[in-house]
Amino acid sequence: MASYSIEIKRSAAKELAELPKQDRHRVIARIENLAHDPRPSGSEKLSGQERYRVRQGDYRILYEIHDHVLVVVVVRIGHRREVYRP
């Protein structure tokens, strides 16, 4: 199985930088694992969207998978109570 490349949108990178340091390291490790398995156990497809989400503690990582070019695009990172709000 080929490895996917990871792209992080600028807004998601900003959200990542604002996380507490210890949580940030865990979230980064989780994002790096998406390169090897973009649909890990525990990930869910969001209804009505072509996005997936994966949990890391109290934080959620929302991302899109582009299988035809082997790219995972991280769209949003945030606390579970705020991440789904527009």
Angle between helix axes 10-17 and 21-34 (nearest 10 degrees) is 140
Q: Has residue 4 got a pLDDT over 90?
A: yes
Domains of the chain: residue spans and CATH:
5-79 (3.30.2310.20)
Query: For 42-77, how does the pLDDT look when each residue is reduced to its tens digit (9 = 90+)?
Result: 999 999 889 999 999 999 999 999 999 999 999 999
Residues in a beta bridge with 61 = 54, 77
**CA separation for the pair 40, 71 (Å, rounded):** 15
Name the token pair of 79. 């606390």
Residue given tokens 């072509």 in the structure block: 50
Percent of the chain predicted with pLDDT > 90: 90
Average pLDDT value for residue range 2-15: 95
Which amino acid does the sequence have at 82? Answer: E
Q: What pLDDT, on the 0 to 100 scale, is given for residue 1?
A: 61
